[in-house]
Structure 1
């Protein structure tokens, strides 16, 4: 009996302070067969998580329970982690100016569009 090759299951960090949306994002990530890190309602807890293990991809709300997510996004960008901003507070043009390689989705984002964005980001993850 041959053993199956171990395949890498991408880890997706979810930072979202609205409970229902966080639950929905986590479920979408799991449905794709990826591992969910979080969801975290604030960037402080997410910083602790990335300090232990860097995710392959991150889905970030711009406004978290403890303020704007940009310090976390900066740390993730520096580490080469693809980011998907999922927010109702900022336009994709504003995101593109600050994070040219990030993707941006406004809330509410259709699930199929979000799935395509996650798959694209996971394809770019190293």
Structure 2
């Protein structure tokens, strides 16, 4: 699952995730869209921007953690230390970062083999 409200970033994340062999759910630009998507299908992992079009992603991150879905924060609006204190099992990459970093986190989070 990809939660990102910046179109170009969302497209890049979608392409990278698809190229790694994952089925892509999203991208979604709002927490509301994410909730609806999760109600239809539990994702294997989630890449989350912290600041979405309708507010912060934390309510959705809390739901994903309850469902035992690995999360990767990808944001320019958050402090990594604070994120990892709140979500110790998560991974965090500050924007801008390389797609290789996000890819490695995604593979680690899902134990996905190429």
TM-score tier (shorter): over 0.9
Which segments of 5 or more consecutive residues in structure 2 lack a partner in the other structure? none
Q: Secondary structure at the match of 2:24?
A: strand
Counterparts of 2:29 and 2:97, CA distance in 1? 19
Q: CA deviation at 1:113?
A: 1.0
Which segments of 5 or more consecutive residues in structure 1 lack a partner in the other structure? 1-12
Residue in structure 2 matched with residue 87 of structure 1 by the alignment: 75
Counterparts of 1:109 and 1:15, CA distance in 2? 16
Displacement over 2 Å in runs of 4+: none
Counterparts of 1:50 and 1:65, CA distance in 2? 18
Supply the RMSD in Å over aligned alpha carbons.
0.9
Normalising by the residue count of structure 1, what TM-score does the alignment of the two structures yield?
0.87
Q: Secondary structure at the match of 1:36?
A: coil
Q: Within 5 Å, which residues of 2 pair with 1:17-96?
A: 17-96=5-84
Which has the higher Rg, Structure 1 or Structure 2? 1
Counterparts of 1:99 and 1:23, CA distance in 2? 26
Residue in structure 1 matched with residue 98 of structure 2 by the alignment: 110
Normalising by the residue count of structure 2, what TM-score does the alignment of the two structures yield?
0.96
Counterparts of 2:110 and 2:17, CA distance in 1? 11
Count of residue pairs the alignment pairs up: 112
Q: CA deviation at 1:111?
A: 1.3
Q: CA deviation at 1:24?
A: 0.2
CA deviation profile, 1:59-86 (whole Å, cap 9, x unmatched): 0000000000000000000010000000
| Greater strand fraction, Structure 1 or Structure 2 | 1
Counterparts of 1:120 and 1:91, CA distance in 2? 22
